[in-house]
């Protein structure tokens, strides 16, 4: 999984970048199953993160926004989180991504299972018709 981190109105320190990559790296286990359908050496998921500090028009402290875009086969997931702390914004963004990726995986798995059930039903139906015709 390729991770790209950018910032706006904020300097990305090494510790912030490492923290973001560590948290986003936790999504790797949700995306690993998608790599089975792709050639070896090519990443399926591309992850773009933008961490920004809102403009200085707020009177009560800083507001941080963490925006993320995850490109998956057939779908692009975009999530945004706004918090008072940059670390908490990253955590909230990753949590929102976990929910979205789980839904995406469930939908893909259920589609395959539905097709398999339909095939099994049709095979069983043809077998039972052949048995009735043999009598």
d(CA 62, CA 41): 41
Q: What is the pLDDT of residues 69-78, one digit of tens each?
A: 988 777 888 9
The pLDDT mean for the chain works out to 80
**What whole-number distance in Å separates Cα of residue 127 and Cα of residue 131?**
6
Distance separating alpha carbons of residues 71 and 50, to the nearest angstrom: 15
Q: Which CATH class is domain 2-97?
A: alpha beta
pLDDT over 90 at 67, yes or no:
yes
Query: Could you read off the pLDDT of 81-111 as tens digits, one per residue?
Result: 999 889 999 999 999 988 888 888 787 778 7
């Amino acid at each position: 999984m390729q991770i790209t981190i950018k910032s706006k109105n904020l300097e990305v320190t090494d510790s912030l970048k490492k923290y973001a990559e560590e948290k986003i790296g936790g999504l790797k286990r949700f995306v690993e199953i998608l790599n089975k359908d792709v050639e070896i050496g090519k990443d399926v998921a591309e992850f773009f993160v933008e961490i920004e500090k809102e403009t200085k028009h707020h009177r009560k402290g800083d507001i941080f926004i963490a925006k993320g875009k995850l490109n998956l086969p057939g779908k692009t997931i975009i999530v945004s989180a706004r918090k008072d702390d940059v670390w908490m914004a990253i955590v909230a963004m990753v949590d929102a991504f976990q929910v979205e990726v789980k839904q995406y995986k469930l939908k893909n798995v259920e589609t395959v299972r539905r097709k398999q059930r339909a095939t099994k039903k049709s095979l069983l139906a043809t077998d039972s018709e052949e048995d009735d015709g043999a009598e």
